[in-house]
Amino acid sequence: MGNDIVMAHIDYENIRWGFRDYVEWVSIEMIIDAFEDLGNELGELRQMFFYGDWTRRPDDSRVIERRGFRAVNVLSKTYGGDRSDIKMSFDIYDQVKREPEIKTLLIGAGDADYKEAVLRCRENGKKIYILSWGSSIARELFSMTHGVYPLEGRLGLTRRAPKALPTPESLDELSKRCSFIRKLDSLEKALPHVVLNYLTNLLLKEKIYGETAFEVSDFLKVERSKKYLNEYTIPNAKIPGKEVVCVKLKRDDQMVVDALKAEKEETKP
């Protein structure tokens, strides 16, 4: 589009929450590639800044730095709330004032919280483009910016089809296991760790895997014995000195592969 110098600022915590809405697994490499490609289409991409709590995802931050970009660490609140939007907004404005040679900014977030940052960029004669999940982009950003790009389109992702929750009576053992694997897949895309107690409470609310906490725990005990789950512990954020058990899918296990592949087939038009 031109020879303007482009700087990209990406709210990775914001972007990551969208992973759960798509069938395919989304990696940090894919996100970097999408922003890098668009940045170079818009002009001369000089640098990209990815904002997130990298103490929770150190491997992702290493990939970002290895690719020559910046992983800006913004610690989450004690119980998980994100603070990236404030830090990123101030950094964008500081850069606009400090480096007048920068003509174009690419923002990786669609929240209305970034409206003020966008306005200040415009007031300083900058071009602003948005790359984020299409369904999450605030309406006013479409008219306030110079271009909006849906991230799912750039990545070629398949959105999960909305479905009515099945009833316990409609699920046999295999169907219930597939449903559980897909639920865990969705949680892993959005969270750094899936804590077993949190998972138990979440499943209990759905009433598919048991009517009581005991029944849900019994269901999880059976599934954990099937060996398609990895278990590990992390420090308990609420009780210093204690640990909590977390679970994650073994993505090369055939049961996991089959369940996720079947979901992808079901979402095809």
Give strand pairing partners of 108.
10
Q: What is the mean pLDDT of the chain?
A: 89
10 Å CB burial of residue 139 (0-12, 13-18, 19+) is exposed
171 pLDDT band (50/70/90 cuts)? low
> What's the predicted TM-score (pTM) here?
0.71
Q: Within a domain: residue 160?
A: no
Same domain, 199 and 137: no
For residue 128, the cross-strand partners are 105
Which CATH number belongs to the domain containing residue 60 in this structure? 3.40.50.1010
Q: Do both 33 and 145 map to the same domain? A: yes
User: Are 110 and 17 in a shared domain?
Assistant: yes
Of 194, 175, 174, give the one whose Cα is nearest residue 185: 194
Task: Report pLDDT for 125.
Answer: 93
Q: Please write the tens of the pLDDT for every residue from 179-204.
A: 899 999 999 988 889 999 999 999 98
Asked whether residue 162 is domain-assigned, the answer is no
174 with 233, same domain: the answer is yes
Which domain, by its residues, includes 87? 5-155
Among candidate residues 155, 185, 220, the one where a domain is terminated: 155
d(CA 251, CA 248): 9
Q: What total of structural domains would you count in the chain?
A: 2
Residue 176: predicted pLDDT: 87
User: Where residue 198 sits, what CATH number does that domain have?
Assistant: 1.10.10.10
Domain edge (last residue) among 124, 155, 186: 155
Same domain assignment for residues 89 and 215: no
Of 100, 127, 155, the residue that ends a domain is: 155
In-domain check, residue 22: yes
